[in-house]
Each structure stands twice: as structure tokens, then as C-alpha cells.
Amino acid sequence: MNVETLSRIQFAITISFHFVFPPMSIGLGVMLVILQTLRLKTDKPLYLDLARFWTKIFGLIFAIGVATGIPMEFQFGTNWAHYARFVGDIFGSPLAIEGIYAFFLESGFLALLLFGWNKIGPRMHLFATCMVALGAHFSAIWIVVANSWMQTPSGYHLARMVKVVEDGKQFPMTADLGTVPYTVKEIPLPAGYIVQPADMGHVRAVVDDIHAAILNPSTIDRLCHTILACWIIGSFVVVGISAWWLLRGRFVEAARASLKIGIIVATISCLLQMVAADSTARGVARHQPTKLAAMEGLVQSQKEAPLGIIGWARWERDANGNIIGVKDTTLHIPGMLSILVSGDFLHPGLASQTEVTGLAQLPSDELLRARHPDLSDADLAKIRPRYWPNVPVLFQTYHLMIGIGVLLTAVSLLGCWFLKTGQLWKADSKPLRVFLWVLVFCPLLAQIATQAGWFTAELGRQPWIVYEVLKTGEAASAVVKAPQVLRSMVLFFIVYVLLTILFVSLLTNKIRHGPSTSGAGDKAPETWRPLSVRGASETKG
């Protein structure tokens, strides 16, 4: 395997593993803010116990998130040096801003959150909780900004470095001018210039409009989509653990309180997610048509394009094994994709006449011709599949995400209904036990959906690292050799397996011990006692 493939696998391993944790801490952060607010409002010791318990879980998740996050900050340099040089002018800023505004905020106030129970009062503790949650959200914002720029780059132009000699003549950087003195100048390239492999090292993206680069066409959609996914994961972690306690008949009071808050947050997030997901998909249709066509396995451009529900897409190959198209076997809703792309749900008849471009026309002839100026039209059609993402995999990850998303929405709505009718607490009724068991597995399902969604976003961008500007193959480090990446990749894998085992065993241990019921007793922190037990200070005084 070459360096590019290995680096991609390594990045996939490290980012997927890392991405298990931050969504949980973002979602749990919101839950902690709710719990601490309720505690201040109601003075119920139960909420203090819950806040302390979920803070411990939060701390464990956060620690692994930090440990696995450090490699992410540096891998752009270690494995993707060409990429770093090419986009540094734009892509470095959000990472630095994330460090200055998100990480410091999070990690600073996390100390107060975890270790401050005896040092600061409850109001200050709530403030610290809010700051940690805010920091976690800031972090999500800047990472999604950076990633969205890779999906829909804007606010930049390409520039080429040239050598300029004394009389103003320009030479390419590769020219050997001998002893003639020269200066290096950067000249802008025309809009729509397609980077060629030979340009690497001399051409880079230069920022024109920072706000346009940050608020690029996909930022807002993808940000809402991602943050809601985090809330869904966080709330379902709370719901799943609480449901398990209820099934075991342990910590019943705490479980009920957690489950109630969890179900409500999960339902709100799931419903909002439908809107955000729809908007994100429409954004993909508008700005990354190749990705959309690949997600649905759509080859021919058509009106009344169908929306796949379940099934599979396979490559269609010629006698030499070259990809020439896609065969799909799916259960689908006719015309639904066209309706979704148009976004006009009130006039489905009209909306279904929207034409959706298929892979046979994507990427555009102009782009292919600009990248391969010396090829004939027939040859261009032949190399087109090289510019397609991995359709069979993408089809599955995309539909897996949607399927689980719909399932989780249904589960949360059902949970709300059980909650409203008061049936949720009947842990001895058979159907309720089945429902609680479903809830126990919901955190896992939510994780799978989020991972599948992220894979869809990233695989759908391939073979580009910056969509339709820079190919992934041209972005890897030139000086790093395959055995080096192989070594580090294997090590990452082993270390992460080890971390997973430790995490799961510690988490189950914490869940088994549950929240302590110290809030009402003597173990409550000194400064909290007057608040946690109403009137306690008076009786003591």
C-alpha cells in the first residue's frame, strides 16, 4: 500500500476513534447544564447526586477525548504536509482559533467542574459547567468550519510562486537560474484554475475573504447537523444508562429523573435534526452534486429521481475490471429524491419534475477537460469514474445513518408518549421492559449513525481533499515513507484498542456503582450543604 492509502487509513482510525468521545461530551455538557440548573432551582438533593454522577462520566469521556484529540491537531503536518502547505493560509486559522477559544475554556473550567465541588459555591459551579459546555460547542464550531471549507471551499484564490529576476522576467520555481539573483513572488491564478500534480509545492490557496471562507456555503447546515447529532448522542447516553438501571431495579429515583430529562432532550434534538439533515442534504445537492449522486447511486440524470430506502449498490465493471457504472438493487420511493432536492414539499407533483444530475455527467466535462487538457472526449468519459467516490460504501453509510436517525426519532417520540401517559415507570410490564431494552442500545445506535454520517461526509468528498480543487493523492507528505506510516498506524490501532477496553470497563464500573446518595447526607461538600438540604444551616446555627 502507498503512503496516501496508509495515511488515509490512519486518519480514518484516529478520527473515528476520537469522534466517539467529543459528541458524547458535547451532549453530556448540555445535560449537565440542565441538571445543575434544576438543582439550583428546586434545591432537590437528587439533582446534586445526578450532577455529580454525570460529571464523573463526563470527566472520563473528556479525558479520552483529549488524549485522542492531540494526534488530530498534528496529523495534518505529519501525514498531509502538502495539504498543510497548500491550505495553511486558510485552514490553519480555525484550528488555532479552536485552541485559543475552545480548548482553554473547556480545560480550564473542567478543573473547576471535576475538582471544584469543595472549592467554589453552587452558582460558580453552574457557571463553570456552562463554560465547559460552551467550550465544547466552540470546538465543534471551528472543526466543522475547517471541514466545511474542505467540502465547499470559498473566499480564496489560487496563487503560484514564481522566481522574478531583476528586469521583471518571471520564471517557474523549478527553473535553475544559476547565479542570477532573483526574488520569489506570488502571482494570482485565474478563477477556476485546476491544480495539476506538477503544481504541488508552488501553488497554494490564498485567502481573499475570511468571512466567506469561515461561513462557506455548507458551514451553517453542517454545524447544525453535527451539533444536533452530539445532543442526540449525549441524551441517549443518559437515557440508555438510566433505562438499564430501571431494568435492574437500581437507583430507581435517579434513573427516572435522568430518563425523563434525557427523553425530552432526545426528542427535541431528533425532531430538529430532521430539519437540519434535510437542509444539509439539499446543500450537498447544490454544492457537491457528485456526492449526492454517489450517496444515492444515481447514474443517469433524471426527473422523478427515486430515493433509496434500503438495498445495495455495486460497481459495474467492463471486461478489464475498470469501473463503468453502478448497479443498484434497492427498495425506493419514486420521485422522492427530486422532491427532497427541490425542497418544495407543498407541491410534490411539481417538485418531482426537478432534475437530479447523475454520475454519468459528474464531475462536469469542463473540470475533467481542464485537468486533462490532452485527452479526447471519449477518453474523458472513460476516466470519469476515477473522480467518483466509493459509491457502494457511501450508499450504505448514508442509508445506515438515515435509517438509524428515523428509528431514534420514533423511539424518542414513543418514549415521550410513555412518559406522558405515565407508563414509562411500569418496569414490570412486559412491553415496557422490551422498550427499555431498546433504549439501552440506543446510545450505541446513535454512535453508529454519527460515525456513518461522518464517513458519508468524508468519503463523499473523495477523491478530493479540497472538493474539486486538490486531490487527496497529491496532498500526502512527500518525505514520509510507507513503513513509517504503517508502524504508527499499527501502534495507533493497538493503543486505541487498549483504550477502548479500559474505557468500557471503567464506564461499566461507574454505571454499576451509580450515583451516590450523598447529597442529603454529611458527605455533601461543606459549601453546598445549606443549599442541598433546605434549612440545614439554620438548624446547625
Partner 1 sequence: MDLNTIWFGLVGVLLTGYAILDGFDLGTGPLLLCTREDRDRRIFLNAIGPIWNGNEVWLVTGGGALFAAFPNVYATVFSGFYDAFMLLLFALIFRAAGIEFRGKRPEAGWRRTWDVAFAASSLASSLLIGVAIGNIVWGIPLNDRHEMQGDFLTLLRPYPLLVGVTSVALMVMHANLYLIIKTEGTLQQQLKRWTRRTVPAYLVCFVALNVITLLTCPHLQTVLHHRRWLLGGLAIAAFLITFSIPRQVRSGYEGRAFISSCLSIVTMMLLFAATVYPNLVISRPDLDNSLNIYNGSSTEKSLNFMFYVAMIGVPLVLTYTVSIYYVFRGKVVLTEESY
Question: Residues 220-250, buried b or exposed e (16+ Cβ, 10 A)?
Answer: bbbbbbbbbbbbbbbbbbbbbbbbbbbbeee
Nearer to partner 1, 91 or 454 (CB): 91
Nearer to partner 1, 155 or 363 (CB): 155
Binder among 1, 42, 115, 534 for partner 1 (CB under 8 A)? 115
CA 136 to chain CA centroid, nearest Å? 13
Question: How does DSSP classify residue 308?
Answer: E
Residue 464 pairs with which residues in a beta bridge?
Answer: 471
CA–CA dist 183, 172 (Å, integer) = 12
Q: Does 501 bind partner 1 (CB under 8 A)?
A: no
Q: Point out which span in 43-51, 75-83, 385-393, 398-406 binds partner 1 (CB under 8 A).
A: 75-83
Q: Point out which span in 82-90, 263-271, 321-329, 451-459 binds partner 1 (CB under 8 A).
A: 82-90
CA–CA dist 163, 171 (Å, integer) = 5
Binder among 1, 100, 180, 310 for partner 1 (CB under 8 A)? 100
Phi, psi of 121 (to 5 degrees): -80, 170
Q: Point out which span in 24-32, 109-117, 344-352, 412-420 binds partner 1 (CB under 8 A).
A: 109-117
Q: Does 141 bind partner 1 (CB under 8 A)?
A: no
Q: Does 104 bind partner 1 (CB under 8 A)?
A: yes
Q: Does 175 bind partner 1 (CB under 8 A)?
A: no
SS3 label, residue 322: coil
CA–CA dist 189, 199 (Å, integer) = 12
CA–CA dist 67, 323 (Å, integer) = 41
Q: Does 112 bind partner 1 (CB under 8 A)?
A: yes
Shortest distance (Å) from residue 402 CB to partner 1? 34
SS3 label, residue 339: helix
CA–CA dist 146, 521 (Å, integer) = 48
Binder among 348, 509, 513, 537 for partner 1 (CB under 8 A)? 509
| Binding footprint of partner 1, residue count (CB under 8 A) | 69
Cell 490512519 belongs to which residue? 10
| Strand boundaries in 63-196, DSSP class E | 156-165, 170-172, 182-188
Q: Does 520 bind partner 1 (CB under 8 A)?
A: no
Binder among 11, 21, 91, 455 for partner 1 (CB under 8 A)? 91
Q: Does 68 bind partner 1 (CB under 8 A)?
A: yes
Binding mask 191-210 for partner 1 (x = CB under 8 A): ----------x----xxx-x
Q: Which amino acid is at 74?
A: F
Nearer to partner 1, 109 or 387 (CB): 109
Q: Does 499 bind partner 1 (CB under 8 A)?
A: yes
Q: Does 97 bind partner 1 (CB under 8 A)?
A: yes
Q: Does 21 bind partner 1 (CB under 8 A)?
A: no
Query: Which are the contacts of 349, defined by CB distance < 8 A and separation ≥ 6?
Result: none
Helical (H) or strand (E) element with 327: strand 323-333
Q: Which of 226, 225, 189 is nearest to 208 (CA)?
A: 189
Shortest distance (Å) from residue 444 CB to partner 1? 23
Q: Point out which span in 21-29, 405-413, 431-439, 475-483 binds partner 1 (CB under 8 A).
A: 475-483
Burial class (CB in 10 A: 0-12, 13-18, 19+), 377: exposed
Q: Does 147 bind partner 1 (CB under 8 A)?
A: no
Residues lying near partner 1 in the complex (CB under 8 A) are found at 60, 63-64, 66-71, 73-74, 76-79, 81-82, 84-85, 87-93, 95-101, 103-105, 107-112, 114-120, 184, 201, 206-208, 210, 477-480, 484, 487-488, 491, 495, 499, 502, 506, 509, 523
